[in-house]
Amino acid sequence: MSTAERASYETLALLIDGRWKTDAREGETVFDPATERAIGWLPHADDADVSAALAAAQRAFESWRETSAFERARVLRRFGERVLETAEGIASNIVRDQGKPLEEALAEVRFAADHIFWHAEECRRIYGREIPSRDVRVHQRVVREPVGVCVAFTPWNFPFSQAVRKVCAALGAGCTLVLKGPEEAPSAVVALGRALQEAGLPNGCLNLLWGKPSVLSARLIADDIVRKVSFTGSVEVGKQLAALAGRHMKRTTMELGGHAPVLVFADADIDACARALATQKLRNAGQVCIAPTRFYVERPAYDSFVERFTEAMRITHVGAGDEPGVQMGPLCHARRVQAMQTLVDDAIAHGATLATGGTRLHERGHFFAPTVLCGDLSAARVMFEEPFGPLAAIVPFDTFDGVIEAANALPFGLASYVFTRSSAQAHHAARRLKAGMVSVNHFGLALPETPFGGLHDSGYGSEGGSETFDGYLATRFITQFDSLP
């Protein structure tokens, strides 16, 4: 790693009570997934660091909770402004450690700023209410108060925007936070911490820790200081953390995996639909929890859709995220490449047809070709396991009831998509699909003002929309008797 490369990448550190710590007895090397070259060193927190971060968050909470909503909003607005001012640098480092194309990384950072500004406005509207009493001498009111110190665990696929959602909801509600970001792609979370400091956030309100996920999560969730846990990640890990939080009676928000079905009816604009879905499928190399993954196409349109969709996937320019014209970057780490190959090999062994892709690309880096599987997929694992990569499985359907049953057959329920020109068909499909979010004829999910969350194994609780603060607020009822003069 050259001196120039060291200077260009974010200096990675712990943040505890407003102080950055770069030295540690243990840590890990961060790699560029496009080149597999080392680009930075990430220090790990020891037990003393964890204790110090929690203590700092608790001290800061006592004053931050009393800070007016207008002051909290002011800090968040300055945070958003600082993010926009430094967006190019943050995005460039996301390309380096996460792998997505620069255009996508910039979009992530700028869209996250939109979330920040929305939270800044909405946190001023956390209201209680007065309840009319049955006795004129009684006053009844409901107040909503911050729950306390929160811990959050955020993923590597959208390292900046996912952290922003949790940080803004917690801080906007008046809580303080200990955040463990993704060790694979840490630069964006460090940049987030620096931007909040520059925005005037008091010391201790946000603390950043890194380390072995299983060790840190167990330590943080079990601590008496912590009152709320927020996690975005896999179903398997989410269930483990939810069980741990339950043992300690900690409230939780769980945004877990999905396996989004797409229902394409024969009356849809097949050409436009196929091109749009291929683009959406390959966003962030398919490493998106709401990515379309199970494609159900009405039989009269099946061959046409497969042909157009496959061609759009085949011509995609795959390469390093900072190369001109690149449309899809590498997968974040080698484990995802092996997972893709395993799913493809299994599908072919069970009789599926490989329409395009199906192999690793390039001699170096974690690249996998955009892949389309079709034909007999009834026994293939890809129809039951979230691929979380550039792999699409396409099957035909014949009846409305049949496709709804197939779409709802899995325990996941995060996102689903419907494409049809029939408003009645769209309405009935949206009503019957068992998913926390349904998008009809476009990709309208994850806006700041709309709730984002799933059902069943895809988790519970919402981020975004007015619901975003619910998990960070305690509801209290106060009743008072006043005797009349």
d(CA 316, CA 311): 9
Active-site pick, 108, 183, 184, 255: 255
Pairing, β 226-232 against β 149-153: parallel
Pairing, β 455-456 against β 412-413: antiparallel
108 is catalytic: no
Pairing, β 459-460 against β 251-255: antiparallel
d(CA 349, CA 336): 20
d(CA 418, CA 154): 29
What angle is formed at CA 162 by the lines to CA 23 and CA 387, rounded to 5 degrees? 105
Distances (CA, A) of 262 to 137, 316, 422, 447: 58, 21, 16, 20
What the block records as the tokens of 1 is 């790693």
118 φ, ψ to 5°? -65, -45
289 is catalytic: yes
Q: How far is CA 348 from the centre of its chain?
A: 31
In contact, 231 and 254? CB cutoff 8 Å: yes
The residue among 279, 300, 307 whose CA lies nearest residue 420 is: 300
The amino acid present at 437, given as its one-letter code, is: M
Active-site pick, 289, 298, 332, 386: 289
Contacts of 429 (CB under 8 A, 6+ apart): 263, 400, 404, 418, 420, 438, 440
DSSP, res 32 = -
Distances (CA, A) of 206 to 53, 153, 159, 175, 203: 9, 13, 16, 10, 7
Q: Hey, which residues does 353 pair with through a beta bridge? A: 374
Positions annotated as catalytic residues are 255, 289
